[in-house]
Amino acid sequence: MPIPIDVGLTRLVVSLVLGGLIGLEREIHESPAGLRTIALVSLGSTMYTLASLLMVGPGVDMSRIAAQIVIGIGFIGGGVIFQSKNQVHGLTTAASLWIAAAIGLMVGMGEYLFSTITAILVMVILWFGRFEKKYLPHESFRR
């Protein structure tokens, strides 16, 4: 049975907005993956989830698409992580891509509340990370 156009469009727009907010934060702070990338990851995850909802029938395992989203995001996330000297860069961006995919998947399933709360929590964590780096130098934790 096809997904009603209003339901599909609502899910796509919500996914785009939530992913876009996370992407905007990453863009402002000049991370390797910003607004477009993270919004596209969220939107793509929603679209794949909507496609999986259409696959109904005997012998069909809809969860396989969700599993493949996770694998694909792992591949993309690995592309933004790099090491130089004794430092690793891009882990937060990779994690942002990973959670954006999860948000998109949940929006695709119609779970707006959990998706929105998760996006808000992500923004709080990203903001706190900036606060933590500025006001809590890591040297103070070494003893």
Q: Cα(62)–Cα(55) distance, rounded to whole angstroms? A: 7
pLDDT digits (tens, 9 = 90+) for 41-56: 999 999 999 999 998 7
Q: What is the domain range of residue 59?
A: 5-141
Q: Quickly list DSSP for 1-53.
A: -PPPHHHHHHHHHHHHHHHHHHHHHHHHTT-SS-HHHHHHHHHHHHHHHHHHH
pLDDT digits (tens, 9 = 90+) for 86-99: 888 888 889 999 99
Place 143 in a pLDDT band, splitting at 50, 70 and 90: very low
Q: Give the mean pLDDT of the chain.
A: 89
Q: What pTM was computed for the model? A: 0.87
Q: How many domains does the chain have?
A: 1
